[in-house]
Amino acid sequence: MCLGRVPDCSPPIPLQVILQLLQYVDVGTLMTAIRPASRAYASLVSIELRGRQKRLIHQFVHDTSQFIARILRDCHVVIGGSAALQYICPSTPPPTDYDLYVPSKHANDVLEYLLIVEGYEVELDTTICTPTPRHASALLYNAVEYTAGTARIVTLWRGETKVDIIEEILALTIA
């Protein structure tokens, strides 16, 4: 016989069921729910977010672990566009292409990896002429200058999968 509060009478929800439910929750809700929740829930959210990252990356590379370690982390790549939207809100349609924002100094490393290791082919390599904005800091009396913009976009294909490497320039000069 069940005495006391109703939740004590209910069987616990299996871990696999919770993990499956988390796959459909947007990142904002996951992160908001962590605050008052237990460490166990925070661990489950962490597992789900890592899983989302791997599932997303596996859609355009074969070796997910190597790509995360060698490219995402070491080359400071940011995945943008519809792929980022799907990571944040999994109920959105699957991405039609993958936009990789890469700092200029790592662009060739990412390009070589995708061409040599993953078997992509270059379809289009476009150099972008971006004006160089200059901004001065009032506190430093015109002593700070930065440049930012897109230097180049390289479009790669492998079968039906399209990846755009967007080479970004960000430079800061302090005089």
**The pLDDT of residue 23:** 83
**The pLDDT of residue 139:** 45
- Domain extent listing, the chain: 59-174
Strand pairing report for 144-158 and 161-174: antiparallel
**The pLDDT of residue 30:** 78
**The pLDDT of residue 146:** 52
pLDDT by 10s per residue, the chain, length 175: 444 443 444 557 777 887 788 888 888 887 776 666 677 778 888 889 999 999 999 999 999 999 999 999 999 999 999 999 999 998 889 898 999 999 988 999 999 999 999 999 999 888 775 545 554 444 444 444 555 678 889 999 999 999 999 998 765 555 5
**The pLDDT of residue 9:** 45
Strand-by-strand arrangement of the 144-158 sheet: 78-80, 98-103, 161-174, 144-158, 121-127
Bridge partners (DSSP) of residue 167 are 102, 152
| Sign of the four-CA dihedral 155, 69, 43, 39 | negative
CA proximity to 19, closest of 6, 28, 30: 30
**The pLDDT of residue 140:** 46
**The pLDDT of residue 20:** 81
